[in-house]
């Protein structure tokens, strides 16, 4: 199922930025009910984007999720950057997924 979603995501979304194009400029910690992470402001493709909610930990274990991520055309969505076998994905799809993975790394590490 994850593979189908990943393939569909790659086909429907434009290739917007590579990982090297992303910089977290501000991050504010949040936590609630055993989950924690950061709300980040980030820069990519020469534009500043705000309020992406990055999940780092859930009940003491890493969680690989980003909400309110702007894909570059004003559409905001939630996206998992977890590999099928668990852990942080390294290469799921070109472009957009690489950008999301790098954003998670910069926020949570």
For 14-36, what is each residue's pLDDT tens digit?
Answer: 444 445 578 999 999 999 999 99
The 3-state secondary structure of 48-101, one letter per residue? EEEEEEEEEEECCEEEEEEEEEECCCCCEEEEECECCCCCECCCCCCCHHHHHH
Cα 88 to its chain centre, rounded Å, is 11
CB 44 within 8 A of CB 23: yes
Residue 21: give the domain boundaries: 2-108
For 64-100, what is each residue's pLDDT tens digit?
Answer: 999 998 877 888 888 888 887 778 877 655 555 678 8
- pTM score, whole prediction: 0.76
Mean pLDDT, the chain, whole residue set? 80
Confidence of residue 13 (pLDDT cuts 50, 70, 90): very low
pLDDT of 39 above 90: yes
Our count of domains for the chain comes to: 1
């Amino acid at each position: 199922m994850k593979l189908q979603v990943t393939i569909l995501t790659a086909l429907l979304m434009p290739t917007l930025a590579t990982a090297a194009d992303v910089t977290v400029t501000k991050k504010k910690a949040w936590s609630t009910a055993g989950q924690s992470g950061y709300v980040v402001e980030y820069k990519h493709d020469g534009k500043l984007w705000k309020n992406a909610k990055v999940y780092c930990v859930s009940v003491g274990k890493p969680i690989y999720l980003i909400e309110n991520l702007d894909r570059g055309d004003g559409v905001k969505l939630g996206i998992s950057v977890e590999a099928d076998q668990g852990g942080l994905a390294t290469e799921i799809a070109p472009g957009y997924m690489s950008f999301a993975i790098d954003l998670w790394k910069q926020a949570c590490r």
